[in-house]
Structure 1
Amino acid sequence: MGMGSKAAVSVLVLCALLAAQTMDAAPCNPAALSPCAGAIMFGGAVTPGCCVQLRAQQRCLCQYARDPSYRGYVNSPAAQNAARACGLPKLKC
């Protein structure tokens, strides 16, 4: 996964930055999940900060799963592993 992965990461970062600008306007904020980026995108370690944010955004995860911009990340095996590591129930949308 060479250039395609880098492009996908760049797009995600751009989306996160745009979402962060409207953080106060929207209750669901995908940028809040930035502490989980390594775990969700690369299967890295799940940090306590990631779990805090996953729990805080739990009610929004189905919304993200329906959004074409985030669907691939939310439904990925790495994201499911991160949710499981944080003790969240399996996503049922």
Structure 2
Amino acid sequence: MKTPYTAVLAAAAVVVVLLLAEAELSTAVTCSPTELSPCVSAITTSSPPSRLCCSKIKEQKPCLCQYLGNPNLKKFVNTPNARKVASTCGTPFPKC
């Protein structure tokens, strides 16, 4: 009888670990285009992106498709320089 109880306990522990890992992976990102303000000079003047810019691009990556869907933001986000900055920062530009 100990084997089924141990197996159930082990399975429950695995489920808890998986749920905790999933919760950590799905931390919500607040989509705010103003978070990309450290990248303005890199995008508009072709200067190298700062570390802060790169961290913000990586942070906002899940939001880029949303920004591309907004006509007011698309002009800023969907430019060759913006793509170059994202690439330089090691963040592949999304295909939306």
With the length of structure 2 as denominator, give the TM-score of the two structures.
Answer: 0.66
Once residues 49 and 60 of structure 1 are traced to their aligned partners in structure 2, the CA distance between those partners, rounded to angstroms, is 17
1:28 is aligned to 31
Where structure 1 has 5 or more consecutive residues not aligned to the other structure, the ranges are 1-25
1:63 is aligned to 66
| Mapping 1:1-93, distance limit 5 Å | 27-93=30-96
Give per-residue Cα distances to partners, 1:20-71, cap 9 Å, x unaligned.
xxxxxx9200001011001112212211100000001000011001101110
Please identify the structure whose Cα radius of gyration is greater.
Answer: 2
With the length of structure 1 as denominator, give the TM-score of the two structures.
Answer: 0.68
Higher helix share: 2
1:7 is aligned to none
Partner amino acid for 1:84? S
Once residues 63 and 91 of structure 1 are traced to their aligned partners in structure 2, the CA distance between those partners, rounded to angstroms, is 11
Moved over 4 A (4+): none
Count of aligned pairs? 68
Deviation, 1:91, is 2.0
Once residues 34 and 71 of structure 1 are traced to their aligned partners in structure 2, the CA distance between those partners, rounded to angstroms, is 15
Where structure 2 has 5 or more consecutive residues not aligned to the other structure, the ranges are 1-28
Deviation, 1:72, is 1.2
